Amino acid sequence: MSKFINVISNDPTHVAMETVSGINDTLNIIFESYDEAKSIWGSLSSDDKLLVTPSGRFIDSPIKIFQYIHKVKNKPVGFIEAYKYNGTSTTNAFLVYAILKEFRNKGISKILLNKAVEGCKKEGYKYLIYRCEKENKASYNAALSFGFELRNETKNQYSLRYEI
């Protein structure tokens, strides 16, 4: 008779139920996804790291609601994550994503954003919120071409929203 452990999470890399003997496999998947995303983040320049994570630290946050790692020939080349906006929102999801420099301008941004729309929609979110620095024209233009609308503009930053 198998014993079951419920793994409760909004993270799609988690498995809903797992046998006791298989829980290590589930944990390996979870840690592997985090490590892959962190390795992409780690390859960014210091300035780009701060754009993706303004705190300057890459952490596995309890308010994360979605994560997707995009691979090319089994190599992680981009990731996207969605967080509860302001840590509590059940309507707005805040997006963070990064793509390795040598894989930019190849349509991966669109793939990542589509995955975020699918994942956040499943979780019941209505809007995606994305911010980028004004100097990051490529990210700004990618968001606009995907269908994001400019909601706010400060001296250094754009804030955009996408209705799911």
For the chain, which residues make up each domain, given as ranges? 4-163
The structural architecture, per CATH, of the domain 4-163 is 3-Layer(aba) Sandwich (3.40)
Q: Which residues pair with 152 in a beta bridge?
A: 159
pLDDT interval class at 11 (50, 70, 90): very low
**What would the 3-class secondary structure string for 23-70 be?**
HHHHHHHHHHHHHHHHHHHHCCCHHHHHHHCCCCCCCCCCCEEEEEEE
Q: Which residue has the tokens 């995303």?
A: 37
Question: For a pLDDT cut of 90, what percent of the chain falls above it?
Answer: 39
Given a cut of 50, whether residue 18 has pLDDT beyond it is: no
What pLDDT is attached to residue 15?
A: 33
